[in-house]
Amino acid sequence: MTKAVAAPDRTCVRVELGERSYDILIGPGLIADAGAQIAARLNGINAAIISDETVAELYLPILREGLAREGIESTDIVLPAGEKTKSFEHLIEAAHGVLEARLERGDAVIALGGGVIGDLAGFVASVVRRGMRFVQIPTSLLAQVDSSVGGKTGINTGHGKNLIGAFHQPALVLADTAALDTLSEREFRAGYAEVAKYGLIDRPDFFAWLEDNWPQVFTGGPARIEAIATSCRAKADVVAADERENGKRALLNLGHTFGHALEAAVGYDGRRLVHGEAVAIGLVLAHEFSARMNLASPDDARRVAAHLKAVGLPTALGDIDGDLPAPDILMHHIAQDKKVKRGKLTFVLTRGIGQSFIADDVPSSEVLGFLKEKHPQ
């Protein structure tokens, strides 16, 4: 994609995973239309909708109306909004809710919300009766371009994020692009970091297109649909090649090793740093570190930083409010990250815009030295 193609009002991205293949429909109005879309594909089911308080208030009534019109009975399970909901406690609450509704294996769990609800509801769908059908209705930009694609589900524990979970593919994903209009600008920008990430992984033309067209992605319309569809396609390609994350899928972690360490460093305090913001900084750091390792040109790192800054994202450690832990503590968080294999550091590095690759055996001394340079104190 080298120019802004006038996207149609609704787009379909197919995720090819053999008998687990499914469609992602992208466009405005899909929440109201979900009942019809689901009824057309999943015969004679009932459903449990899992949502959070914020999203339920905005969209649960239209969703339930549409389901009822098609004769789909639904129960709803509304949980608090926020990352803390991805816990054993709420997993148990939601699983009990689904069982209480006497749903069977062929029935569906529907996630209506951002990535938190999608991850939790997908895990619920995966474990109740050893696997129920699952429909994703992602309502945040991050969920539409990232968490709803690929089948990773899970919750957090005291030991870290996403340490308990399952791979469980949805039967259908409905990304209502108009629902993003009620998302806070900060959350939209955070999700945008993941959109930019796909360009940086292996789609340099897409990154260039974003540099030109990002304002239209933010305001809505065809450019937004196009950006979401391209992102879903990019993620779906990687997932199809490596469903269970044994190899290539690790590319999706571009910017995330640094990003996760920063999230841990601020104690997952969303007021200071939400995930996409951490990823934005992580993307810049990954390019800068690649330049330091003489793999890429420092110009690429500057170009990445310039674009993310233009959309209003943080791009350096110094952009984080408040004090950061010392470099060796950040290093410790990096080593804790689950992308560590048998004590060696695995990093996604890059040879330039859209030329990322997986590097094993990155010396931790180099990383520590780099963090010392970049640290604001």
Ligand X SMILES: NC(=O)c1ccc[n+]([C@@H]2O[C@H](COP(=O)([O-])OP(=O)(O)OC[C@H]3O[C@@H](n4cnc5c(N)ncnc54)[C@H](O)[C@@H]3O)[C@@H](O)[C@H]2O)c1
Binding residues: 115-119, 139-140, 152, 161, 194, 256, 275
User: Which residue out of 3, 19, 43, 130 is catalytically annotated?
Assistant: 130
Q: Which is nearer to ligand X, 191 or 325 (CB)?
A: 191
Concerning whether 194 is annotated as a catalytic residue, the answer is: yes
Residue type for position 251: L
Instruction: Report the distance separating Cα 14 and Cα 21, nearest Å.
Output: 7
Strand partners, 160: 157
Q: Which is nearer to ligand X, 217 or 371 (CB)?
A: 217
Instruction: Check binding of 163 to its own copies (CB under 8 A).
Output: yes
Stretch that binds its own copies, among 133-141, 162-170, 196-204, 205-213 (CB under 8 A): 162-170
Q: Classify residue 221 as exposed, middle or buried by CB count within 10 Å of its CB (0-12, 13-18, 19+).
A: middle
**Candidate list 11, 37, 136, 140; residue touching ligand X; CB under 6 A:** 140
For the bound state, the minimum distance from the C-beta of residue 77 to its own copies, rounded and expressed in Å, comes to: 15
Question: What residues from 118 to 147 belong to the interface with its own copies (CB under 8 A)?
Answer: 126-131
Instruction: Report the distance separating Cα 23 and Cα 49, nearest Å.
Output: 19
Structure tokens at 140: 């945040």
User: Which residue out of 83, 187, 194, 243 is catalytically annotated?
Assistant: 194
**Candidate list 275, 287, 292, 374; residue touching ligand X; CB under 6 A:** 275
Contact 275, 259 (CB under 8 A): yes
Instruction: Report the distance separating Cα 169 and Cα 288, nearest Å.
Output: 35
Concerning whether 152 is annotated as a catalytic residue, the answer is: yes
**Candidate list 46, 162, 216, 297; residue touching ligand X; CB under 6 A:** 162
Neighbours of 131 (CB within 10 A): 12
Strand partners, 48: 75, 109
Q: Classify residue 22 as exposed, middle or buried by CB count within 10 Å of its CB (0-12, 13-18, 19+).
A: buried
Q: What is the DSSP string of 235-271?
A: HHHHHHH-TTSSSGGGGGGTTHHHHHHHHHHTTT-TT
Q: How many residues bind ligand X (CB under 6 A)?
A: 30
Instruction: Check binding of 256 to ligand X (CB under 6 A).
Output: no
Q: Which residues are catalytic?
A: 130, 152, 194, 235, 245, 249, 253, 256, 260, 275
Binding-site ranges for its own copies (CB under 8 A): 44, 88, 92, 95-96, 99-100, 104, 106, 126-131, 152, 154, 157-160, 162-167, 244-245, 338, 340-342
Which parts of this chain interact with ligand X (CB under 6 A)? 52, 54-55, 58, 81-83, 86, 113-117, 119, 139-140, 142-143, 146-147, 150, 152, 161-162, 179-180, 182-183, 187, 275
